[in-house]
Structure 1
Amino acid sequence: MRYQAELGDVDFITGDYLAEVNIAENAQAHAQGAHPGWEQTAWDGIEQTINLLAEKRIKVIVNGGAHNPKGLAEKVHQLVTEKNLNVKVAYVLGDNLISEMKNIRKNGLPPHFDSDNSEVQYDTHTLDLFEKENKPIVSANAYLGAREIVKGLEQGADIIIAGRVADASPVIGAAWFWHSWSDTDYDELAGALIAGHLIECSGYVTGSNFAGFYEYPYEDLYDLIFGIAEVEKDGTCLITKHDAKKGFVTEDTVKCQLLYELQGNIYLNSDVKAILDGVQARQEGKNRVRVWGIKGAPPPATTKLAIFYQAGYQSELVVNATGYATSEKFDLYEQMIKFGLQRLGILSKFDILEFQRIGIPEPNPSSQLASTSYLRIFAETSDPAINMGLMSLLGEFAMQHYSGFHSTSDHRTALPRPYLSYYPAIYPQSLLKTSITMLSSPIGTHTTSTPTTPPPKFEALSPRASYETSSPVAISTFGPTIKARLGDIVLARSGDKGGNANIGFFIPTQLPSSYKPLFTSTSASQPPSPLYAQSWDWLRTVLTCAKLKEMMGTSWSSTFHIERVEFPHIMAVHFVVYGVLGRGVSGSSRLDAFAKGMGDWLRDAVFDVPVRFLEGRQGREIGGEGSKL
């Protein structure tokens, strides 16, 4: 926060401090009196920056208030009072619905987030909090829009502390206020929504979590400055950064972040929905990328509601095997553990019991480390005694195991530990009781609380778009091919939406100046190069739903459901895989529970790639059965 204020001119600093998992964990600690309810790093940033904020008249909007926005706002207000600064502080209330959700057995469980999608099969334990005893809810937070933020800014607030406003809502609120938009200026609001989405994840738009990182010097990829969105009056935006500090903003870093955690071609917020089919991005200079082509429409009548509950207990065991006959070693150990659980009478009593094999030993290994892989035994139960039964087998079978058995774990993770699970719901916006409160000195006197109202118009959600490409191109027209990994010519970004994963694949437009560009970047006055256009035709033709299932291999399940859309102006194919993350977040059994690595896993799939698309990439190994180009 201090860097953003110190290193150049900005009008607003916005901050998204909340993810599902940290808001839930902190809710439980807050209820027990072991946590202030707000995010410590939000306070740290404001405390370090407050003098600069006052001096430069920079406004701050953050959702770091989490479960206690009033508490953080009062702490900030006390700071500015002590420093005698002319800074007005306000806070947003209305997202916390824990009281309303406490008695769901009487009042009913809100509809699941995917309840309107008949193709989706829920995870087996999705409804446990409603159907089983002893699953108390610990947090329930609705995702608010920007209406309260705008009202606070209109009343003169300089710092607004919110709870669970949606990730992009602080940016929407800032732009909405700055440009004096109406709440029905949907195209403009939708553009601001995407601007907020692009900068919400700290350094993700300036080089972090970037699929093409290996083309850059490693020293350019850490200690990054975060992104800045310049939002125009028409809602279009330009993504940039301060010249100082490291990081870079390119068409490809912007596209990576744009494709992160999407639910398809419609991006939802409480104030607007953004229609992304026509989205475009263009480099306009060093670290300056313009984004436009987004259309807006009225929001749905509901908003997302994140409910977390005490689901039970988790245990995790990790054992190693080296080299010869590794597969048989893990076969033996799994059979032995299941035998022991059966003898204890608890084999069938686990909610989840998975034996996950991680890694493949290197043939003709260069070292023992290169020859070592892992067996991860992951268990979830409602009764900690069941987990303890699993742990007891470590001792019982301590001297009965496969050859070369060893483990680096001290097995503390095998002890049953309570975990929270996630139920994503939807909730009527008309039932929310939201407000913005301005603080005055001394605290507790002359505060002004203003109720806010829902959006003036709602629009029902249409069935989610999903389609294969129109007019596919015959592969033979692209000329000779070579076995190569998809990632040799395609970048990707993946993420989670509860129990679902999204993956966006796209053709890169540029590389660092020290490399020969693979394709010519597009511009308003210059059409795409023939090679760039052909590569898009190839990608959209080969990357079908059936192909994605094939790429997922043994990780694919018939219980999953795929939706596919295209963003032709950024040459991207986007998928949502429903159900692949189980219940999602802290309740998922997957090693990659947030699907962060899914895109790079799938980029390693080998395709018959036209040779013409790989030319100019000398010096990098082209993955395909040991061949090099």
Structure 2
Amino acid sequence: MSSERGKRPVRVANCSGYHGDPAYEMYRQATLGDVDFITSDYLAEVNLANNAEAWRARKHPGYEETALEGIQQTIDVIAEKGIKVVVNGGALDPKALAMKVQTLVNEKKLSLRVAYLSGDDLYDCVGPNMPTTKAELQHLDSDNSSAAPASLTYAFLRGTPDGKPIPMISAHAYLGARGIVHGLRAGADIILCGRVADASPVIAAAWYWHDWDETDYDNLAGALIAGHLIECSAYVTGGNFTGFDRYDLDDLVEPGFPIAEIDADGACVVTKHPGTKGMVTVDTVRCQFLYELQGTVYLNSDVNAYIGGVVVEDVGKDRVRISGIKGSPPPPTTKLAVFYTGGYEAEILLNATGYATFKKWDLVERQVRHFLPESAMNELETLEFQRIGTPGPNPTTQTSSTTYLRIFIASRSQQAVAAVGLALRSISLKHFSGFHSTLDSRTAIPRPFIAYYPALIPQSSITEEIHLLNADGSTETHNTGHPSHYADLTPRESYDPPSTSQEEPGKAFERSRGATETKRVRLGDIALARSGDKGGNLNVGFFVPASTPGFPSAFVSTLNVDGDAGGGDRGEATWTWLRNYLSISRMKELLGEDWRDNEYFIERVEFPRIQAVHFVVYGILGRGVSSSSRLDGFGKGVADWIRDRVVEVPVGLVG
């Protein structure tokens, strides 16, 4: 491999997007074809917090066990093929995982150098308790004056019921790729990391392979987006894909995992091993590209990527090229994911069937509030009555007529949470007609929960080190330093389509086309989408499908390098309508009763060369992650909900 470095694109395979992905995916990526690197992202934001207390009590190994299992299954192939491995499965204790891997290397007498990265765990610096003022630990969105934090963002400032500070559980900074590059240049073959940013292992692989300088920002930015595209494993090969229903379901049962072929200039081709299921298309790539964005700038500890000019091209079967990314120096701060003891929560699920369902839910809410003691009510942080589903018309089965009420409760006080369940007992046989519930009542029992607080921390305050292990048990340690240049954060872009300043969104387009008639269709009939979360914020992007089978021909466009609809005027016309229709005010309208004027804020941008509109809705997921009260706490289902909304589309576009 060393003789080929820099002479061709580097092939970087992903083997995990979450710790639940099977360990054998690492072996498959190593054996189904040739790759230079295997990377992974085993960590969702809450993984570390879920295990932190047990790890400190020595009841958990600290690392993700699927990462170790994957290496155990694959290490002989890694050694034989000269594949380098960079994974963040070290989680809370990368050293412990590195020692396990080194023992395996010694036992097998393999010529592999193992290393681990440290510096992300800042619990000892900012813990063991949560701050008592906002100024002590700056919130991630504090630089955005337009986005007011959700009401419970600073709940920890209230302290415990007895007036003590709230205990912190974990605090991990998102590290970049520079430490990994140091390790690779020092000869490491396997590098075990903790909370590096999701794309950092991929950036490091390309940085090392092409021997870039840390100021080759355009190249690094391209690699950052390559990492963003493949770090969620099957999300770019058919998983979580809104166009899935137009494909043979058998082909989506077990999609192959992705590979990024990254050029010397940072542009890449996303692909997968031949013969594996799933697909890599312009549409699956655009879906993943739009996932978990925050506008047109993608931040990382090594580089800011400017993604507004992104180009996505079909260059062959299961081969899609991504280019047009520009870069600049990174911000002086990085994200710090902080988790703390949030108190207690519970949910109660009640069923209602058929006739007068909405009044039944009105009644039960009044009854709970009536029987709930005022003392408990005053201690509740959250009491929500969420109505899930709508009875089907003229139902032919009882289940199709049945919906449920989800009562969600949270408080620092266990007794206050329990009081809601006791209030239901007081209703007893006073309930509405046809009342019934699950026989399993465990969900009503208060349980401790972990709350999330995303913060910012200066990169200069982090001591990042790469540790290379020797066969004799000794360790070689190198301080990896900090970026040589920073760029201050600037206000994020947000704008409406030009027509909205003169008239209602979409009307200008209809008028320019001479269209007077419209047809009511579901938005999903003409647009694909992807949604997700960044803490308490929802992000959702919509785009005109390019190649998904089964879409009406009026909507199908084939993008060329300029982002124009190669399929002719109809595809371009659909994009023109979509971008004009999806204004900020229209998004509020589509969010319906979930939108709250005084609590949420929306940013909107466009990606014209991929025919996409993207929104960030600040605050709608509450505190986010483990402490969101929403049924869909990660916002993954929002895209399909909005696609199910009925919209007025010019008849000329629907054929």
TM-score interval for Structure 1 and Structure 2 normalised by the shorter chain: over 0.9
2:34 corresponds to: 9
Distance 1:90 1:448 in 2: 9
**2:626 is equivalent to residue 598 of structure 1:** no
Distance 1:259 1:512 in 2: 21
Structure 2 counterpart of 1:600, one-letter code? D
Distance 1:31 1:329 in 2: 48
Q: Which among 77, 80, 86 is matched to residue 102 of structure 2?
A: 77
**1:208 touches 1:222 (CA, 8 Å); kept in 2?**
no
Q: Please list, as runs of the form range in 1=range in 2, the aligned pairs for 1:37-436 lying within 5 A after superposition.
A: 37-102=62-127, 103=129, 105=131, 109-133=136-160, 134-342=165-373, 345-436=375-466
Task: Quote the offset at 1:40 in angstroms.
Answer: 1.0
- Mind listing any 5+ residue stretches in structure 1 that lack a counterpart? 616-629
Task: Quote the offset at 1:105 in angstroms.
Answer: 4.2
Task: Quote the offset at 1:419 in angstroms.
Answer: 0.4
Q: Please list, as runs of the form range in 1=range in 2, the aligned pairs for 1:561-572 lying within 5 A after superposition.
A: 561-572=601-612
Task: Quote the offset at 1:512 in angstroms.
Answer: 3.3
1:627 corresponds to: none
- Mind listing any 5+ residue stretches in structure 2 that lack a counterpart? 1-25, 501-507
**2:552 is equivalent to residue 521 of structure 1:** no
Structure 1 counterpart of 2:327, one-letter code? G
**1:129 touches 1:135 (CA, 8 Å); kept in 2?**
yes
Q: Please list, as runs of the form range in 1=range in 2, the aligned pairs for 1:491-502 lying within 5 A after superposition.
A: 491-502=528-539
Distance 2:470 2:205 in 1: 22
**1:270 touches 1:303 (CA, 8 Å); kept in 2?**
yes
Structure 1 counterpart of 2:237, one-letter code? T
Distance verdict in 2 for CA 1:2–1:517, change over 3 Å: farther
- Bigger shift: residues 312-321 or 528-537: 528-537
Distance 2:50 2:396 in 1: 43
**2:633 is equivalent to residue 583 of structure 1:** no
Distance verdict in 2 for CA 1:574–1:250, change over 3 Å: same
**What secondary structure does 1:493 align onto?**
strand
Q: Which among 583, 590, 609 is matched to residue 649 of structure 2?
A: 609
Distance verdict in 2 for CA 1:524–1:586, change over 3 Å: closer
**2:554 touches 2:570 (CA, 8 Å); kept in 1?**
no
**2:246 touches 2:550 (CA, 8 Å); kept in 1?**
no
Task: Quote the offset at 1:408 in angstroms.
Answer: 1.7
Give the TM-score taking structure 2 as reference length.
0.91
Distance verdict in 2 for CA 1:94–1:298, change over 3 Å: same
**What secondary structure does 2:101 align onto?**
helix
Residue deviations 1:568-597 (CA, integer Å, cap 9, x gap):
000000000000000001111000000000
Residue deviations 1:545-569 (CA, integer Å, cap 9, x gap):
0000011111000110000000000
Distance verdict in 2 for CA 1:469–1:409, change over 3 Å: farther
**1:501 touches 1:576 (CA, 8 Å); kept in 2?**
yes
Q: Which among 479, 482, 506 is matched to residue 451 of structure 1?
A: 479
**What secondary structure does 1:239 align onto?**
strand
**2:554 touches 2:654 (CA, 8 Å); kept in 1?**
no
Residue deviations 1:308-352 (CA, integer Å, cap 9, x gap):
00010001000000000101111111111111103x631222000
Distance verdict in 2 for CA 1:474–1:527, change over 3 Å: closer
Structure 2 counterpart of 1:283, one-letter code? D
- Bigger shift: residues 102-111 or 252-261: 102-111
2:494 corresponds to: 466
Distance 1:106 1:580 in 2: 25
**What secondary structure does 1:402 align onto?**
coil
**2:130 touches 2:167 (CA, 8 Å); kept in 1?**
no
1:619 corresponds to: none
Structure 1 counterpart of 2:532, one-letter code? G
1:481 corresponds to: 518
Structure 1 counterpart of 2:614, one-letter code? H
Residue deviations 1:429-472 (CA, integer Å, cap 9, x gap):
001000000001232x2x10001111000001111100011357
Distance 1:355 1:486 in 2: 28
2:21 corresponds to: none
**1:11 touches 1:58 (CA, 8 Å); kept in 2?**
yes
RMSD of Structure 2 on Structure 1 (CA): 1.6
Task: Quote the offset at 1:610 in angstroms.
Answer: 2.4
**2:311 touches 2:563 (CA, 8 Å); kept in 1?**
no
**1:172 touches 1:192 (CA, 8 Å); kept in 2?**
yes
Distance verdict in 2 for CA 1:514–1:328, change over 3 Å: closer
Distance 2:463 2:250 in 1: 48
Task: Quote the offset at 1:130 in angstroms.
Answer: 3.5
Structure 2 counterpart of 1:451, one-letter code? N
Q: Which among 537, 542, 554 is matched to residue 581 of structure 2?
A: 542
Task: Quote the offset at 1:109 in angstroms.
Answer: 2.6
Task: Quote the offset at 1:106 in angstroms.
Answer: 7.9
Distance 1:520 1:114 in 2: 37
Task: Quote the offset at 1:48 in angstroms.
Answer: 0.9
**What secondary structure does 1:257 align onto?**
helix
Residue deviations 1:41-64 (CA, integer Å, cap 9, x gap):
111111111111111111100011
Distance 2:90 2:311 in 1: 34
Distance 1:362 1:106 in 2: 50
Residue deviations 1:332-384 (CA, integer Å, cap 9, x gap):
11111111103x63122200000000000012112111100000000001011
**1:128 touches 1:135 (CA, 8 Å); kept in 2?**
no
Residue deviations 1:91-145 (CA, integer Å, cap 9, x gap):
0000000001115548963210000111111122212223423521000000000
**What secondary structure does 1:2 align onto?**
helix
Distance verdict in 2 for CA 1:348–1:575, change over 3 Å: same
Distance verdict in 2 for CA 1:399–1:525, change over 3 Å: closer
Distance 1:409 1:230 in 2: 53
Distance 1:586 1:514 in 2: 37
- Bigger shift: residues 13-22 or 132-141: 132-141
**1:551 touches 1:602 (CA, 8 Å); kept in 2?**
yes
**1:510 touches 1:517 (CA, 8 Å); kept in 2?**
no
**1:95 touches 1:163 (CA, 8 Å); kept in 2?**
yes
1:620 corresponds to: none
Distance 2:46 2:375 in 1: 33
**What secondary structure does 2:136 align onto?**
coil
Distance 1:105 1:511 in 2: 50
Distance 1:194 1:540 in 2: 24
1:22 corresponds to: 47
Structure 1 counterpart of 2:511, one-letter code? S
